[in-house]
Structure 1
Amino acid sequence: MPLIPAARFAPTGTALAIASLLLAGCASTPAPGSRSVTIERTAYGIPHITAPDYEGVAYGVAYAHAQDNVCQTAEYLLTARGERSQYLGATGTGDFGLGRMTNAQIDLFVRNHMDDAALARAADTDAEVRAALRGYVAGYNRYLQDTGPNGLPEACRGKPWVRPMTQADLSRTTELSMIQGGLAALAGAVMAAEPPAAKTASAQPAVDPQQAALEIARLSFNANPEGGELGSNGWAFGRNATPDGRGLVLGNPHFPWFGINRFWEMHLTIPGSMDVMGATGGLSPTVAIGFNKDVAWTHTVSTGKRFTLYELKLDPSDPTVYIVDGQRRKMTAKTVVLPAESAAAGAQPARKTFYASEWGPVISLPRAGLGWSATTAYAIRDVNTLNTRSARAWMKMGRASSMAELRDAMGNQGMPWINTIGADRQGNAMYADLSVVPDVSAEQLKSCAPSAPAAGLFGTAGLTVLDGSRAACDWKRDSAAAMPGAIPPARMPVIVTPDWVQNSNDSFWLSNPNIAAPANISPLVGPVGVPQRLRTRSGIQEIENRLAGRDGLPGNKMGAEQLRNVIFRDKNLAGDLVMEDLAAACRSAGASLSADQQTGCRVLAAWNRTSTPEAKGALLFREFWRKAKDLPKVWRVPFDPARPVATPAGLDMATTATREAVFKSLGDAVAAVRAAGFAPDVTLADAQYREVRGQKVAIPGGDEFEGVLNKVESQGQPVIGPKGYGINYGSSYIQVVGFDERGPVAQALLTYGQSSDPASPRAFDQLPLFSQKKWLPMPFHRADVEAQRVGAPTVLAY
């Protein structure tokens, strides 16, 4: 087990200045090369990283992550630097925010937004956090040094854009992660903002509310009708709900199978100080979802708002001057010009002038009624800008020994846009939305209402627009908040119980329907008394059926085995809700239906109402319900806030217009499936699979709108195509964690494997486990790691 000496890179320019800030007060840092980190791999390439301090652990994390994902990281650093056009072409595209943009647009936005000096000033002052970030940068650079440009995977081998990471680079990637559900999601609207020409109408044009809602939903973490939204299921059970009286946690994030938001499994140990295992996303030295010997936790995307818009009242003589409390204020203008080498031959480099108010950058989203006219403009303010607190929160969570300590770990408001669901070995379960939300009360929403159309966007699209012409409409500053302008933790919803809690991306309202929801919560945290997404309803039904002993499984407690069975049951709740009425209407209509409609009736009558690979009819139902779900008044039983888990339900086939529209949707679905080259009664596996090393691997699960807990979907392809469904989103890192007298008993899997390099044996090597509903026991204890170790350890001096 040779000790490989450390390699060092000399930072220059801005990187040197920022590094000096981060190193301030660290005179006691040991000499380079005097310590070492050990990386051991077990089955499926899971690294177990041990070092005497967090700097070493982070060094090992970055090195091991680069072994699996160096090209992915190197390309993302281009994004963070605003250099995509220069190396990948201005007209090429890349992932950004919640969608894709041209490289030129990404670069212009990033170069306008990023302020390295501000990020350095906002950096966490905790010495261990700074050491960890320093170690991560050094570990990645060490991998580049050890491997050399010609030893890299094909996607980035010998590429000039693969360069050492700087501390500024890492800070920028964190900033992009923090704002991806807010400002970055509206990057296109920021790019579109231009002062109106003199001939522009003085008022905003009228916009259909439904069109505005749809336009805004496309920018949402968890309401995008075209798919690709981030989501998750998180369940936790306390002593009253488990057979052994200990805590039990399900983590099932629904994230992309590509890009920087991919998860990566790891086990981090600082002897005598920390021992935590799970997965992380992005470029992070901390476990984001995982467990230690006493606690387990997961995250789900919260309904909380991450930004507000401000409606600006403009000076009629100058659309770049706005009025606050009767005073004229000039917008700032910043012109960004990309380097000449970023332009195609003979073309001028891209340039853009950005405008900003004291509330934030000016945007333009005319299809949502948020354009820039001669009298009105809109600015966006993101509460997660300069949020550098997440690393410290996750470090403390990894060391927590109870739900109380897990909750306290999030007190610095480092969780940007996520709920936390957890349980401990003592049998306490917790739901906590301690994410960062602007401090705007229900009263302030009323008193600071903007124009009627803009104010109406809160009800129709969940978008908060405040009156920017009054300073009183600023966010509240509560001294208890770690982030000025954010709601402090004491006013956010938290439930700790010996029973159970769940979240599937709806609000805190029904975390457990038997427990009163926290009161006096800001509307910006999430709605109550509204229809729930089908996954939420399905999860609550599954939990309640299990604990009532009416789900066909033995007993009436939720053990780890039952929990694994439930999440992979792949029940299609939409099918359960509508198929009885559809089948009855099919029988009644008989030969009066068209041939395609009769085929649809026959196939769906035989369907088992699951989205398992072997289910015949699951494919057809998906295409049918995709078309029928949004029909006016399609439900027979409307939503009842007193029965939110059971309603809405049924198909209103007694109404002629609805019945005809439903049957048309069914016939159209049959035609669409055939046009894609599939028979209507094929199994789901025939159309929902991925080729892995020449073998078709069936993918279980269903789409968001079907209410299948095991959610999978295709970003960019909302309907079936000639090759079926190109699944690239959904169930990713999945864990079920309980406890015994020694500590955690965990089983997990990572659907797409550890590596983003298609040539790596670790790319999609766990997909067959997912296909066969098998789980991988997690080797947490030292003896288990040693027994399952694959290959020789890597020991790196740092």
Structure 2
Amino acid sequence: MRIRLRQRRHTVAGIALLTALTTTAALPPAAADRHEHPRGDGLSATIRYTEYGIPHILAEDYANLGFGTGWAQAADQVCTLADGFLTVRGERSRWFGPDAAPDGSLSSATTNLAGDLYFRGVRDTHTVEKLLATPAPAGPSRDVKDAMRGWAAGYNAWLKQNRITDPACKGAEWVKPVTTLDVAARGFAISVLGGQGRGVDGIAAAQPPTAGAREQASPSRDEIAHAARELFSQEDSDMGSNAVAFSGATTANGRGLLLGNPHYPWQGGRRFWQSQQTIPGELDVMGGSLLGTTTISIGHNSRIAWSHTVATGVTLNLHRLTLDPSDPTAYVVDGRREKMTKRTVTVPVRGGADVTRTQWWTRYGPVVTSLGAQLPLPWTAGTAYALNDPNAVNMRASDTALGFSKARSTDEVLRALRRTQGIPWVNTIAADSRGHSLFTQSQVLPRITDDLAARCSTPLGKVTYPASGVAVLDGSRGDCALGRDKDAVQPGIFGPARMPVLKDAPYAENSNDSAWLANADRPLTGYERIFGTVGTPRSMRTRGAVEDVSAMADKGGLKVADLQKQQFADRAPAGDLAAADAAKTCADLPGGTATGSDGTAVEVGQACRVLAGWDRTMSTGSRGALLFDRFWRKLTATVPADKLWKVPFSAADPVRTPHTLDTRQPGFATALADAVAELRGAGIPLDGKLGANQFVVRGDKRIPVHGGTESLGVWNKVEPAWDPKGGGYTEVVHGSSYIQAVGWDGGSCPVARTLLTYSQSSNPDSPRYNDQTHLYSQRKWVTERFCEKDIRRSPALKVVRVRG
């Protein structure tokens, strides 16, 4: 161990001496308590910047690597990071008022106060400290905790040594040093996004009924089923992804290929940030990290590449509580009375008195009175609901990411997943230099078997579980406990043996549908409903993706360039299926007019010709793309999916069905008329180029954006904000983010092309504010510099030595 450490130090020192270094001033001595603001005494890192401000961080151990990572993230994203730390400290109301809405990056809270009440409760009960103290493998490893401590010290060092220029927080008092606990709390918030994070408003609002209070009317079974489906629908989610791994059987050189295309928010705390992390002899990995985290979330090393897609596994369940008739804050299990745990939380509020509220917790988790706006869960005199989120005791995601970062094959990726079991809400797709491919839905999910759901579901659960995978169990029965799998690292979750896995298929692809069709020729079955569905209609994006990648696999001889073409082909599968029928029916409308939803007759003759001539892509130069987009959104919003097509879905032909647009539906002509009237009313030509009306504004420049919405099925997904007065789609809310196409050319150095669509920095005064966004607009890529020789050859090379 001493020899290895000495070798690392000599390597770091040797590289540091190769180029001129900028040395920063030292900070005052560190505080004795490591949870206080770390100041990084003795910590340092070398950061080598290449084109587009991509940092290559070199350090001798995990604490120093964390230091360099925290410093470099702060340099690019200090305001976004500082805003997120306010969230996890429960201090948004103090600085911005209780009624303002947070950006939604770290929870579903609709107001600052609701989010603060939740996160102050987490802080007051020392939840995160207890997780940090849990021994590995159930808790985080020493390497991860060292990296967190180093990250906090690096962030604080940057604050101490630099002046903030970003107008979003320049001179703001709320930008303050952080603690190791703050960094860990941010990781906790990301882990529970799919569980407690969904129920923040309902947790904050849950109060026992008062005497004489009127009970809410219960929604119908159909309304409940619809609400549950909508709550976990990928179509309305602000996160998604595509990824495909190709095995060596399909590639030009017999090695694997991977294309990763996560769809994440373009603003706020769930942005990706690109870097390389190197500890000589221990770690060498490159990719995208979620802001505020210490590890690479999606990336590659010299032997393997991996990506993630948001999975269909439902990361929470509910327990219906049978309450004591004399006390609505006590519930009964197997005939025995249990008192709820009362948590009193106080939140400071700007310009007003502190707000104090009570939260109620049970053996199952917090009492919750709603999941989103769609699914009310009323607390009555006899019944309440508690939310179980197994990821609320999971702080292992960083160890899983480290396992990927050090893996040498897809088998080692699987071993890392089985050892750490830290992935909360995503699938994993990977390829390696030996030609292996992998898909696995290895998530931390409540251990809800179909048998348990059949035995223990309440009447509500009998509706929600088949419809959406949300189990509602009878909390009054001890035999309805979730139990434990022998290979599970924590009780109440599925062990690795239960996870859907597909190894060495010619292609393994996922676009946020269930594991069933990761490869259409090798469908995955046999998993529990909570993981997702089998034999059900696939999304338009999944259908288009499987068509594309299966054709690529059949063709063979694939290279990284083929992945790049797939990423930016911008094919709209919905257009291929429906545009010709829409144009023909449009041309046959009597008098060339259609009646809009307001009863106005609209001339649509030009629209018919535009739709007929559209090239079926969402390219910036495409004419007719915007018209079809607006028409399709209106049509699919009014015509139910099972009424949209003449040929229905068939599980025997899931990629090609349903098909043939049913233009006889009354909503067809109405949607067409409304789309035409909308564009004309906004002064937008029906045949205008997409890029003229789908763009982002950076500084004083419009940057055209290609890609399309979820319902169109475009691989290169973007979800833009519609502003007809501003000229159309004037900003991307979420969509393609950190994109990577990775392969191996026969040598030890991987071939990688990457793109961070929104660029490294959100500071408009930074040269890294929009440089990669311009590349994205032009369908250009960054040629990655992973190997040492390539880093040294960079014409933009800048080396900075940072230290505490």
Deviation by residue 1:359-391 (Cα, 9 ceiling, x = unmatched): 111111385352222222111111100311111
Partner of 1:170: 183
Deviation by residue 1:380-411 (Cα, 9 ceiling, x = unmatched): 11110031111111112111111111111122
8 Å CA contact 1:506, 1:533 repeated in 2 = yes
Which of these residues, 231, 234, 241, is aligned with residue 240 of structure 2?
Answer: 231
CA shift for structure 1 position 116: 6.1
Q: Does 1:48 align with 2:56?
A: yes
Deviation by residue 1:210-238 (Cα, 9 ceiling, x = unmatched): 543554456437242xxx52000010001
Partner of 1:69: 77
CA shift for structure 1 position 209: 4.4
Partner of 1:153: 166
- The one-letter code of the counterpart of 1:749 is L
Q: Which runs of 5+ in 2 are unaligned?
A: 1-20, 133-138, 595-601
Partner of 1:566: 566
Partner of 2:587: 587
Matches of 1:121 and 1:99, distance apart in 2? 24
CA shift for structure 1 position 317: 3.2
Aligned-pair identity in percent equals 37
CA shift for structure 1 position 486: 1.1
**For residues 593 and 355 of structure 1, do their structure 2 counterparts lie closer, same or farther at Cα, with a shift above 3 Å needed?**
same
Partner of 2:285: 276
Partner of 1:733: 738
Secondary structure of the residue aligned to 1:75 is: helix
Deviation by residue 1:710-763 (Cα, 9 ceiling, x = unmatched): 00013xx46755331121210011000001222210001101110011221111
Q: Does 1:644 align with 2:654?
A: yes
Secondary structure of the residue aligned to 1:240 is: helix
8 Å CA contact 2:271, 2:290 repeated in 1 = yes
Matches of 2:141 and 2:108, distance apart in 1? 34
Deviation by residue 1:434-486 (Cα, 9 ceiling, x = unmatched): 111111111001001112x3420223344221111112222121231012211
Q: How many residues align?
A: 762
8 Å CA contact 2:253, 2:557 repeated in 1 = no
Which of these residues, 443, 449, 462, is aligned with residue 457 of structure 2?
Answer: 449
8 Å CA contact 2:152, 2:183 repeated in 1 = yes
Which of these residues, 354, 363, 368, is aligned with residue 358 of structure 1?
Answer: 363
**For residues 311 and 11 of structure 1, do their structure 2 counterparts lie closer, same or farther at Cα, with a shift above 3 Å needed?**
farther
Matches of 2:803 and 2:475, distance apart in 1? 55
Deviation by residue 1:408-439 (Cα, 9 ceiling, x = unmatched): 11221111111110100000000011111111
Matches of 1:220 and 1:350, distance apart in 2? 32
Matches of 1:117 and 1:353, distance apart in 2? 17
TM, length-normalised to structure 1: 0.91
Matches of 2:435 and 2:463, distance apart in 1? 44
Which of these residues, 516, 519, 522, is aligned with residue 515 of structure 1?
Answer: 522
Partner of 1:250: 259
8 Å CA contact 1:389, 1:414 repeated in 2 = yes
- The one-letter code of the counterpart of 1:683 is K
**For residues 674 and 587 of structure 1, do their structure 2 counterparts lie closer, same or farther at Cα, with a shift above 3 Å needed?**
closer
Partner of 1:796: 802
Q: How does 1:168-207 map to 2 (within 5 A)?
A: 168-201=181-214, 205-207=217-219
Matches of 1:523 and 1:610, distance apart in 2? 35
8 Å CA contact 1:277, 1:291 repeated in 2 = yes
Matches of 1:755 and 1:545, distance apart in 2? 37
**For residues 497 and 13 of structure 1, do their structure 2 counterparts lie closer, same or farther at Cα, with a shift above 3 Å needed?**
closer
8 Å CA contact 2:235, 2:711 repeated in 1 = no
Partner of 1:131: 146
Secondary structure of the residue aligned to 2:68 is: helix
Q: How does 1:521-670 map to 2 (within 5 A)?
A: 521-549=527-555, 556-591=556-591, 593-594=593-594, 595-630=602-637, 631-632=639-640, 633-653=643-663, 655=664, 658=665, 660-670=666-676
Secondary structure of the residue aligned to 1:766 is: helix
Q: How does 1:337-416 map to 2 (within 5 A)?
A: 337-339=346-348, 342-344=349-351, 347-365=352-370, 367-411=374-418, 412-416=420-424
Matches of 2:566 and 2:557, distance apart in 1? 12
Matches of 1:506 and 1:279, distance apart in 2? 23
Partner of 1:296: 305
Q: Does 1:108 align with 2:117?
A: yes
Matches of 1:279 and 1:448, distance apart in 2? 42
Secondary structure of the residue aligned to 1:15 is: coil
Partner of 1:499: 506
Matches of 1:742 and 1:772, distance apart in 2? 30
Partner of 1:488: 495
8 Å CA contact 1:600, 1:667 repeated in 2 = no
- The one-letter code of the counterpart of 2:792 is E
Matches of 2:795 and 2:62, distance apart in 1? 23
8 Å CA contact 2:24, 2:161 repeated in 1 = no
CA-atom RMSD in angstroms: 2.3
CA shift for structure 1 position 32: 4.1
Farther-moved stretch of structure 1 (781-790 vs 397-406): 781-790
Partner of 1:78: 86
Deviation by residue 1:500-545 (Cα, 9 ceiling, x = unmatched): 10001111100101114153x2211111111111111111100122
8 Å CA contact 1:361, 1:379 repeated in 2 = yes
- The one-letter code of the counterpart of 1:135 is G
- The one-letter code of the counterpart of 1:312 is L
8 Å CA contact 1:430, 1:497 repeated in 2 = yes
Secondary structure of the residue aligned to 2:55 is: strand
Matches of 1:590 and 1:557, distance apart in 2? 51
8 Å CA contact 2:47, 2:58 repeated in 1 = yes
Secondary structure of the residue aligned to 1:101 is: coil
- The one-letter code of the counterpart of 2:754 is A
Which of these residues, 404, 428, 434, is aligned with residue 420 of structure 1?
Answer: 428
Matches of 1:130 and 1:399, distance apart in 2? 17
8 Å CA contact 1:590, 1:598 repeated in 2 = no
Farther-moved stretch of structure 1 (114-123 vs 384-393): 114-123
8 Å CA contact 2:240, 2:262 repeated in 1 = yes
8 Å CA contact 1:201, 1:373 repeated in 2 = no
**For residues 14 and 360 of structure 1, do their structure 2 counterparts lie closer, same or farther at Cα, with a shift above 3 Å needed?**
farther
Q: Which runs of 5+ in 1 are unaligned?
A: 20-30, 550-555
8 Å CA contact 2:762, 2:769 repeated in 1 = yes
Matches of 1:467 and 1:737, distance apart in 2? 48
- The one-letter code of the counterpart of 2:645 is W
Q: Does 1:87 align with 2:95?
A: yes
Matches of 1:323 and 1:36, distance apart in 2? 56
**For residues 789 and 41 of structure 1, do their structure 2 counterparts lie closer, same or farther at Cα, with a shift above 3 Å needed?**
farther
TM, length-normalised to structure 2: 0.91
Secondary structure of the residue aligned to 1:250 is: strand
Q: How does 1:306-345 map to 2 (within 5 A)?
A: 306-339=315-348, 342-344=349-351
8 Å CA contact 1:427, 1:498 repeated in 2 = no
- The one-letter code of the counterpart of 2:437 is A
Which of these residues, 711, 723, 726, is aligned with residue 727 of structure 2?
Answer: 723
- The one-letter code of the counterpart of 1:284 is T
Matches of 2:727 and 2:47, distance apart in 1? 40
Partner of 2:24: 4
8 Å CA contact 1:42, 1:785 repeated in 2 = yes
**For residues 674 and 581 of structure 1, do their structure 2 counterparts lie closer, same or farther at Cα, with a shift above 3 Å needed?**
same
Matches of 2:306 and 2:535, distance apart in 1? 27
Partner of 1:24: none
Secondary structure of the residue aligned to 1:629 is: helix
**For residues 524 and 756 of structure 1, do their structure 2 counterparts lie closer, same or farther at Cα, with a shift above 3 Å needed?**
same
Matches of 2:722 and 2:733, distance apart in 1? 12
Matches of 2:774 and 2:426, distance apart in 1? 29
Deviation by residue 1:22-62 (Cα, 9 ceiling, x = unmatched): xxxxxxxxx942x6411010010000111111221111111
